[in-house]
Amino acid sequence: MTTPTPAARPLILVSCGARKGPQPAPAADLYTGSYIVMCLRAARALADDADIRILSARHGLVELAQVIEPYDTRITDTGAITAEWLCYQAAAAGLLGRPVTVLAGAAYTRLVRRVWPHAHAPLEGLPGIGAHRRRLAEIITSAAR
């Protein structure tokens, strides 16, 4: 667990999604569900691609350009990414001191907070997918100004 370094650029974490394309693809293109597509749009409104990672239930932190194969692992499955492995990946990539914003549901946010306790979670506590989508739309619109 870390405290963010004030001068560090924010790291945006987006949850993965169940709907995926049929063949290996860059992570930014693999996930096809409308929710993750909207989360990724919001992430890109907040940061450059170099400062965005998809939090894959199978692979952990994935850069947007990283090619991965479709898989069927949920965050709650045995064998899914753990906080310990996520912390190891973040440390190896030099990401632990970065301030973090997580655009994800509750299970992913809980996992992220085990590594980055101070992570900003603008979707946290919102009552359902409709409220998540409205908040994501606000993020996209606000950043466009």
DSSP notation for 2-57: -PPPTTSPPEEEEE--S-B-SS-EEHHHHB--HHHHHHHHHHHHHS-GGGEEEEET
**Does position 110 have pLDDT exceeding 60, yes or no?**
yes
pLDDT of 143:
81
With respect to residue 5, please indicate whether it lies within any of the assigned structural domains.
Answer: no
With respect to residue 1, please indicate whether it lies within any of the assigned structural domains.
Answer: no
Percent of the chain with pLDDT strictly greater than 70: 94
What is the domain range of residue 134? 11-144
Rounded to two decimals, the pTM is 0.92
With respect to residue 6, please indicate whether it lies within any of the assigned structural domains.
Answer: no
State how far Cα 133 lies from the chain centre: 15
d(CA 31, CA 139): 20
Total domains in the fold of the chain: 1
Average pLDDT of span 118-129:
96
**Does position 4 have pLDDT exceeding 90, yes or no?**
no
With respect to residue 61, please indicate whether it lies within any of the assigned structural domains.
Answer: yes
Percent of the chain with pLDDT strictly greater than 90: 92
CATH number at residue 132: 3.40.50
Residue 13, strand partner residues: 53, 102
